[in-house]
Every structure is written in C-alpha cells, then in structure tokens.
Amino acid sequence: MWEHFFSHLLVASYVSILAAVAFYGFHRYVLVYLYLKHRHDGYLPKSKFQDLPRVTVQLPMFNEDTVAERIIDASCAIDYPLDKLEIQVLDDSTDHSADIARKACEKWAAKGFPIRYLHRTNREGYKAGALAEGLKSASGEFIAIFDADFIPPKDILYNCINYFTEDKVGMVQVRWDHLNRDASLLTKSQAIFLDGHFVIEHTARNRSGRFMHFNGTAGVWRRCTIDDGGGWQHDTLTEDLDLSYRCQLKGWQFVYLPQFSAPAELPPEMIAFKQQAHRWTKGSMQTGIKLLPRILQSHLPAQVKWEAFFHLTNTIVYPLMVLLTLLMYPTFFQMFAPFKAHSWSQYIFSFSLFILATCSAGTFFAFGQRELFGKEAGWKAVLYMPILMALGVGISINNAKAVFEAIWSSIKKKPSEFVRTPKYGVTGANRAKMRKDIFTFRRLMLPIIEIAFGCYMGACLWISFWYQCGILPQSDKSGWASVPFLLIFTGGYFYVGFGSIYAMWQMSQEQEEEVADVYELPA
C-alpha cells in the first residue's frame, strides 16, 4: 500500500514540476508571437533637439586592467559637442587598474576633453553605489552608462538623444553586440542566448506595451527618471532591473532600439560565464521578491502584470530542472520500468524529455539569429540547439544555487556581494587574475556536484541503452527517442563541470608562470 502511494506521489511530483517548466517554456512562444506582431512597429523620435542637452557618460569599473584604457578611449571618441559632454570614470579599483584608468583620464583631459576620474576608497553598494556617487556631481540632464568591457559607437548619443524630446521617455536602450562571438563554442552559444533576449524578448516586450528593463549598460537615462524611481539601490544584484521596474511603475516609458548596437566581449571561459549567470539569476530573483507584490497589486493592465510575473520569476526553472534530473531514475527506471513494450510510462518518459529539452527553445533562438543575420543563420542556429540545451541544463545547478541564495538573502535582508565578471580584452588572451588558493574545496565543490550529476545521467543513459539494445529481458527497441535527450543532459553536466575545473587549472598554470617571471625561474 505504502509503496503504491509513494510511487504515485513520485510520478505526480515529476509531472507537476515538468508542467511548470513547460509553462515557462510555452511563454517563449508568446514572446515570438508578440515579436512577429509588433516587429514593424518601430519608434521614431517625435522631433529633434534644437539645442542639444548636456549628457554625462558614466563608466563604472572595478579592477579592469585589460579593458580600462579601451573604454575610456572609446568614450572620448563619441561624437558629441564637448561643451555638452561630461565623462565620469567611476573607479572602485583596488589594484594597478586604478593607475591605468587615471593615466588614461589625464591623457584625454590634457587634450581638452571633459573627463573626470572619481575613485572611491570603498565599494559600498558596488556598481549601484558607484553610479549613485557619480550622480552627486554629474552635470548632465541625461546619463549614458557603459560597462568597462563595452566599446560605445561614436554615434550612439546622436542615435539615442532625440527620443527624449518626448517628455514621458525615461530611458533608451540599444542592443548588445559581441566582439568575440566566434571565439569558441562557449562564446557562440552565449551570443545566441543573448541575441534571443535582445532581438526577440526586448523587442516583443517594449513594442507591445509591456515592461522591459535597462541592461545595466549601453543605454541613456533621463536624470530625473532615476531620481523619480528612487535612485540606484543595492539591495539586489541587478540594480538595473530593479530601477527599471520602479521607474516604469511611476509611469515612465522606455524605448528599445534594436537597429543600433554597442559591442562588448563575452566571457570566454566557464568560470567567468558561471559567475555572470549566477549574478544575473540571483539578482533577478531578488528583484522579483522585492517588486512583484507591488506590481501585481498595482492598477497596471493584466498583460503587463503577467509579463512581469514571467520575467521576474523565470529563474525558478533552474531548481525545477535540477529536481527533474534527480527524479528521472526513481520515477521511470525503478518505479515503472518505462521501456517495457509500449507502456504508457515509456511514452511519458520520452515525451517529457522532449518537452523539457526542446520546449520552444529552437523557435526562440532560431528566430533571433534569423532576424539578425538572415534565413540561413536561422537554420544554422537550429544545429546549435543540442549545444544550447546542454549548456542550459549544465548551468542549472549553478543557477539553482543562485535562486536559493536570493531567497535566503531576502529573508535575512542581507545585501549580497557583487562578484564582477572577469574581463579579458576581446580575445581572451589576457586572463583574469585569481587568488593563489584556486583549488580550494569551496571552489571545487560545485564542479564536483555537476560532474556527479553527469555521472548520474550517464548511468541513466547506460540503463536506457541496455533496454533499447535488447540486453535486458524486458527490453523494447521502440524507445530510442529518449537516448538523444539523455545524452544532452549527460553532456551538459559534464561540459560545465569539467569546463570549470579546466578553467581553474589554466588559471593556476598562468599564476605559476607569473611567479616564475617575477623570480626569473623557468616556468
């Protein structure tokens, strides 16, 4: 009796979790639909400024030795009247990066450029704190923000500024482009992920009247919009998402311009990629906990509330994917032996994996590539789907950890540390420095868990293979459809886990070479 009860409870739990994942996956189809419906509803400035307004360009940075000078040079090359421009380098650096940035500022200031170097002796509030500190002395009516790894185009201010002739427009965002898109399989995959976000997701939300958000960089704010929304706050790790929703709740309108772009580098190795994904996931969940009750209780239209709900809660998919992974063996291999000939559980197993692994992802990302690079690129993107799905599965443990940390920090009301994404200087030739204690248990614990999950899924794959090949007496050869998806899960966990350890090993090797250079010893 009890065995019967627990078996049904197990399957019910699995199906419920799968339904929730499919629910969020279906939302991608909604975004594609909204994009297709509104993709030709582009914005044009209502008029042009007769007298250009003053703009302050803020460049927040922290220990950015490989890219500090580049972003300062690119910002000083922006085409805008110098008497209407101010550039603030907001540097919280604690290493030699501060000297690099300071010298670059002095070089351009000597040439007559309106650039100021502002260095804080503490990182209170992290990036949000630096931006807020810069606003205290900023003279611009509008604030343009660029992270250190970006290269702002010369015409970016002229492309954005005239949209602010409409008084209700509070922020203008341009699309991200990628300097090292084709550097590796990892950067290519990240580029496709982000292109889907910027081409489909942002456009669909903005042009359909739903809330979108500032992406932390490559955008221009109206100064009074920031103040009206409550200013930069650092109780979440995504201060940009937080401020965006607070301002739109106040009635400010945002404009997204996918026809214009600002290029930046993508993390070229697994550790940096996971740090960035962890921060974005944790910050998004923190923002949802902070603002979603206020949004749902507001008088906003129902479609705006629904989209905000999906946007601010979609990170819950990551712990759900981890749970689904854990439940696969006990639910389907032990309780129901799903590969018995034509059993109902066999079809549920294959179908559930199909939904989980392919739910709308192919359509979403293929459309993003097609819109950017043409039909051929869209078809090529389909070939990357197994890699994208594997990476999404593999990163789920890292991001699930971020979700639980966000919930815990919100309960404890304790601010989270802002861990910057290491910058490499376009090609990845210059690697970020880590502390000497690279191979600590704390650093290795997550990759070990990811590899363990890969072994677990590999065992499920082997059991499945035995059933399909007729090695076991209950075998049935009609269930091959499940094998490719088990391969994706296995490969995803192994790729992220071993990729993390390999990145640590590379960093430790380079540290040894640096020490050898200092002491003139053979590396």
| SS3 sequence of 166-189 | CCCEEEEEEEEEECCCCCCHHHHH
Strands 142-145, 85-91: pairing is unpaired
Under DSSP, is residue 300 helix (H, G, I), strand (E, B) or coil?
coil
C-alpha 509/C-alpha 431 separation (Å) is 11
pLDDT at 476 over 60: no
* pLDDT tens figures, 178-225: 999 999 999 999 999 999 999 999 999 999 999 999 999 999 999 999
pLDDT for residue 516: 46
* Sequence-ordered list of residues with C-beta below 8 angstroms from that of 142, at least 6 positions apart, any chain: 53, 54, 55, 56, 161, 164, 220, 221, 222, 223
Exposure on the CB side of residue 104, measured as CA atoms within 13 A: 25
Buried b (16+ CB within 10 A) or exposed e, 449-459: bbbebbebbbe
C-alpha 57/C-alpha 24 separation (Å) is 37
Name the residue among 244, 107, 271, 272 with its Cα closest to residue 171.
244
pLDDT mean over 170-178: 97
The answer to whether 88 and 59 have CB atoms below 8 angstroms apart is yes
> Structure pTM?
0.89
* Sequence-ordered list of residues with C-beta below 8 angstroms from that of 485, at least 6 positions apart, any chain: 353, 354, 356, 357
The tokens describing 60, both together, are 């927040």
C-alpha 114/C-alpha 78 separation (Å) is 12
Helix pair 385-394, 344-358: axis angle to 10 deg: 90
Helix pair 482-518, 270-296: axis angle to 10 deg: 120
Element (H, E) at 328: helix 317-328
Name the residue among 263, 258, 240, 265 with its Cα closest to residue 190.
265
Q: Is 240 a catalytic residue?
A: yes
* pLDDT tens figures, 4-40: 677 777 778 887 887 888 888 888 889 999 999 999 8
Average pLDDT value over all residues in the chain: 86
* 254 DSSP β-pair partners: 171
C-alpha 415/C-alpha 385 separation (Å) is 37
φ and ψ at residue 408, rounded to 5 degrees:
-65, -45
Q: Is 73 a catalytic residue?
A: no
From the candidates 65, 195, 240, 242, which is the catalytic residue?
240
C-alpha 375/C-alpha 369 separation (Å) is 8
Percent of residues, the chain, with pLDDT higher than 70: 83
C-alpha 153/C-alpha 57 separation (Å) is 13
From the candidates 92, 149, 195, 242, which is the catalytic residue?
92
* pLDDT tens figures, 424-458: 665 444 444 444 566 677 788 999 999 999 999 99
pLDDT at 254 over 80: yes
